[in-house]
Chain A
């Protein structure tokens, strides 16, 4: 696509429920990143994909968080048993080979009530 697409744009969920956030990167971008931004904070790295593999998962805050990428394209970030501290904007970004810099999606605002 023309840009990085994320869905849903907003999600309100009850504490303890599971949620899935989707990212559709720019076509041809092999690198895909997930970041989290809590209110008033900077971007916190979660996970990095190169193709379908994830060489860096160091930012996932707990084992309730997981992510996968299929076909070198769409990625899904799953949060199980959501907690209130998971409330944040989840941003996805992608980049093309040889280019140092990201294109961001518009993010998913997750609110856990």
Chain B
């Protein structure tokens, strides 16, 4: 059965800390992996990863994919209270129809 597992489930850090969020997956036919940030209801897009070893970067956030070991990490440096959110990882499986399978997310809380 296809699955996406995120760790840790929750994390509390102080402003300025660096965090690493993990996402491992098992899907039949992988096409892409997405990271989303969810603060209230609507998840907002962060990154899409399709190739191993190529880091995607946006400001203090970066992400990389390892298709051999079947995982991705999301790094946030110099965290701010505005980074507090649930971070969702989703993997596209094309073995059936084109849909994303989501992990349960990592809840990050950044304290001032």
Residue numbers of A with Cβ under 8 A of B are: 31, 33, 35, 40-45, 48, 50, 55-56, 58, 89, 91, 100-107, 109
Write the nearest CB–CB distance from B21 to chain A, whole angstroms.
14
Segment 1-50 of B: residues with Cβ below 8 Å from A: 4, 6, 31-32, 34, 36, 40-45, 48, 50
Selected A-B contacts with CB under 8 Å, 9 pairs: A42-B4, A45-B99, A45-B100, A48-B99, A58-B96, A91-B41, A104-B36, A106-B41, A107-B42
Is B96 a contact of A56 with CB atoms below 8 Å? yes
Is B41 a contact of A109 with CB atoms below 8 Å? yes
Report chain B residues within 8 Å CB of A91.
41-43
Q: Which of B54-62, B63-71, B76-84, B101-109 contacts A (4 or more CB under 8 A)?
A: B101-109
Known: A44-B102, A91-B43. 5 other contacts (CB 8 A): A33-B99, A58-B96, A100-B34, A100-B98, A104-B44
A107 touching B104 in the complex, CB below 8 Å, given contacts A42-B88, A43-B88 = no
Is A31 a contact of B98 with CB atoms below 8 Å? yes
Report chain B residues within 8 Å CB of A43.
43, 88, 90, 102
* Interface SS of B by simple majority: strand
On chain B, the number of residues with a Cβ less than 8 Å from chain A's Cβ atoms is 27
The answer, among B31, B41, B98, B105, for a CB contact under 8 Å with A89, is B41
Residue numbers of B with Cβ under 8 A of A are: 4, 6, 31-32, 34, 36, 40-45, 48, 50, 88, 90, 92, 96-105
Write the nearest CB–CB distance from B4 to chain A, whole angstroms.
8
A56 touching B99 in the complex, CB below 8 Å, given contacts A101-B34, A101-B48 = yes
Report chain B residues within 8 Å CB of A31.
98
Distance between Cα atoms of A102 and B96 in the complex (Å): 18
Report chain B residues within 8 Å CB of A41.
104
